[in-house]
Amino acid sequence: MLYPLARAALFQLEPETAHRLALGSLQYATRLGLLSAPTPPAKQKPHQVMGLTFPNPVGLAAGLDKNGQYIDGLAALGFGFLEIGTVTPRPQPGNPRPRLFRLPAAQALIN
């Protein structure tokens, strides 16, 4: 119900602005305790890969949370695993903009 509205609004923004806004909203919802509210349990289908057991096969790849600032909020969304980073021993300058590209036909985002 809310998803089509949020998606339409976010797609009006530059991808990097939408990215920051979405993660900031997730962090705010986490701090307010909105993501810890009781929800119906999702069906779990554990998967074992290389000796590790994941609660489900849907994971979040690196790049969404480059600095590990949103781990609690992302974990509350029910992913089977989170890959956080890039984490480096010293700050790096990063790549020039634009760094995010939408592929609407494929429902994809390239980072």
pLDDT tens figures, 28-50? 999 999 887 666 666 778 999 99
Distance CA(93)–CA(90), nearest Å, equals 10
pTM of the model: 0.78
What sign results for the dihedral spanned by CA atoms 42, 39, 11, 22? negative
Distance CA(3)–CA(16), nearest Å, equals 19
Write the pLDDT tens digit of every residue in 67-98. 889 999 999 888 899 998 877 888 888 889 88
103: DSSP letter: E
Average pLDDT of the chain? 88
Write the single-letter amino acid at 97: R
